[in-house]
Structure 1
């Protein structure tokens, strides 16, 4: 493969890095970020590399393409191994609810416990070594002493505070992929060592802001900053369409994308991309009602993750608490739908599920169909939401109608007088724009935009 001028410059800078120096690569969608990092590793065969992947799926995929001088891991895998070694056996839960922590405090008011939980989660994702809040310290100590289940964020923070830089210093280079979706504690681990550092990502693919991610490409001061602006996935028409929204709704500096797609247009794969789980359920409902040829369709999101909360709400309404899943056991703490709806004002996912539960759908039939469609090997038409679509591509993409209207958000920002509320709306616009950009740039040859944007 002949490298582009941008790639050659990156390779030259990467190979010449000194200890502790940082190279930052802002790479557009479809620019071959992993391929670029692979070329850097191949060009430096006597150097050792630690490639930090965004998640387990990316790690498994990347491990197959990197040369032997690259060790592929996730930060969570490093931290989890450390926790197993130093904390012994522990119970792991995916997310804390106020009912998981209530036994530690005398004040059991929902407002108080929600405030405590918010501060605790902020601390776990921060680069701070301590906290001024005794409640946060109480929670941290309870997890550390195995008095309650621990979370993924906890063992990552525990690894960060343990300052295991010697483990990282054994490598010549550390490569951080998907740098736009880091958080402060991840970044502190990445930076706190003597290695040569390369971080790569796409500013406009930061789509996990709801999980308090930060864009390391904007936060980190690098010795060298370079761009990858050539897209090898999509037609120029699709890239221009994506760029038009970045022009209209973002003030961030960027290099415009250029297509280098050397293939004849074809449609061998199609994806319907939604913004929400509710959108996926509506698409499945359409298939059920229209009796489409189902062998052509596949659902790429695990059905239980789409329907579990919804069915647990039905069990709650029917007072059949024994059928509520362990993941949503917190529902058992409420005495009425009124109480549940009041609590939902703190929980966007729950609020969305409650609204969906009031639609006149045959949800049992929908769940049955979803299970049938899940990862159908014969399919060439796929149903997926935007967050899961990241990193994937299809010949044709159809955007569903549940995306947020960007112009409406922009209008609300102009009308907002309160500085704090305006900042919240600006952040929301940034996240929704990024989601829309990700969805558009999954398309290779054809794009149908039903979003109304």
Structure 2
């Protein structure tokens, strides 16, 4: 713990935040530019309440490592992926990896055509790319199932000069993505490996409740995906 409360020089705005006692399930948002002291404010908030326990949710491992050096000992610093791994991800040990386009190509190759004959969407690579993007859109979202809303339009130029995808094509692509997702979730089927964001999605879908802490700190909240935001907002602590 590199700082002490007496050494932290706080602005009047920071003092107001640090002195505010959060009620259970109350949310407080700090809006400020980068480098203006948001993290310092969180440090001071925790240091003023050494009898309470806090969980600092870090955006990545580097931020977690830094946070562990600067926050007082009543603050546990973890990445959101480490929380998800402990509950969900560890069961996929041995079958974790990146989502590979080639794996999706192999899978959709065995499925029926999804567009009218002659449409570029029937090209295996183009189709697989749409499925890849659809799956990633779903994983980042707070949604509970894959629908045609997760399918990108042709604005990505995947369809060259053709018109946008038809509704039927989007629905068929969503069905492809659901099929690939079911394979990802199946520990015994290694045709498509589970990704780190994938088990984070499963964690979000499980509606987890983070125990043992009085308050959660979320720094750089603007970088959170809707899936992670849903996890945070579902907690029963402040």
Report TM bin, short chain. 0.7 to 0.9
Moved more, 82-91 or 29-38: 82-91
Query: Does 2:36 match 1:36?
Result: no
Q: Is the 8 A contact 2:89 2:200 kept in 1?
A: no
Query: Does 2:34 match 1:2?
Result: no
Partner of 1:319: none
Q: Distance in 1 between matches of 2:71 and 2:46?
A: 8
Q: Distance in 2 between matches of 1:170 and 1:86?
A: 23
Q: Is the 8 A contact 1:169 1:194 kept in 2?
A: no
Residue among 84, 95, 105 paired with 1:79: 84
Q: Is the 8 A contact 1:124 1:153 kept in 2?
A: yes
Query: Does 2:135 match 1:120?
Result: yes
Residue among 181, 198, 202 paired with 1:140: 181
Q: Is the 8 A contact 1:59 1:73 kept in 2?
A: yes
Q: Distance in 1 between matches of 2:227 and 2:143?
A: 8
Cα separation, partners in 2 of 1:10 and 1:68, compared to 1, 3 Å: same
Secondary structure in structure 2 of the residue aligned to 1:22: coil
Which runs of structure 2 are paired with 1:174-323 in the superposition (5 Å)? Answer: 174-196=216-238
Q: How far apart are residue 11 of structure 1 and its match?
A: 0.9
Secondary structure in structure 1 of the residue aligned to 2:177: helix
Partner of 2:151: none
| Deviation digits for residues 17-51 of structure 1 (CA, Å, limit 9, x no counterpart) | 11111100012122122211110001111111000
Which runs of structure 2 are paired with 1:165-180 in the superposition (5 Å)? Answer: 165=209, 168-180=210-222
Secondary structure in structure 2 of the residue aligned to 1:110: helix
Q: Distance in 1 between matches of 2:215 and 2:175?
A: 39
Q: How far apart are residue 82 of structure 1 and its match?
A: 2.3
Greater Cα radius of gyration, structure 1 or 2: 1
Q: Is the 8 A contact 2:141 2:227 kept in 1?
A: yes
Q: Distance in 2 between matches of 1:90 and 1:99?
A: 16
Secondary structure in structure 1 of the residue aligned to 2:216: strand
- Alpha-carbon RMSD across the aligned residues, in angstroms, is 1.6
Q: Is the 8 A contact 1:169 1:193 kept in 2?
A: no
| Deviation digits for residues 274-305 of structure 1 (CA, Å, limit 9, x no counterpart) | xxxxxxxxxxxxxxxxxxxxxxxxxxxxxxxx
Q: Distance in 2 between matches of 1:54 and 1:110?
A: 33
Query: Does 2:74 match 1:59?
Result: no
Secondary structure in structure 2 of the residue aligned to 1:175: strand
Structure 1 length-normalised TM: 0.40
| Deviation digits for residues 123-155 of structure 1 (CA, Å, limit 9, x no counterpart) | 000001112332222111111113221222101
Q: Distance in 2 between matches of 1:86 and 1:172?
A: 29
Secondary structure in structure 1 of the residue aligned to 2:29: strand
Query: Does 2:158 match 1:153?
Result: no
Q: Is the 8 A contact 2:144 2:205 kept in 1?
A: yes
Query: Does 2:102 match 1:102?
Result: no
Secondary structure in structure 2 of the residue aligned to 1:23: coil
Query: Does 2:171 match 1:129?
Result: no
Q: How far apart are residue 88 of structure 1 and its match?
A: 4.5
* Structure number with higher strand proportion: 1
Q: Is the 8 A contact 1:38 1:67 kept in 2?
A: yes
Q: Distance in 2 between matches of 1:84 and 1:135?
A: 24
Gaps of at least 5 residues in structure 2 are: 1-7, 114-122, 148-173
Partner of 1:50: 55
Q: Distance in 2 between matches of 1:118 and 1:26?
A: 32
Length, aligned pairs only = 190
Q: Is the 8 A contact 2:89 2:199 kept in 1?
A: no
Q: Is the 8 A contact 1:92 1:150 kept in 2?
A: yes
Q: Distance in 1 between matches of 2:103 and 2:124?
A: 13
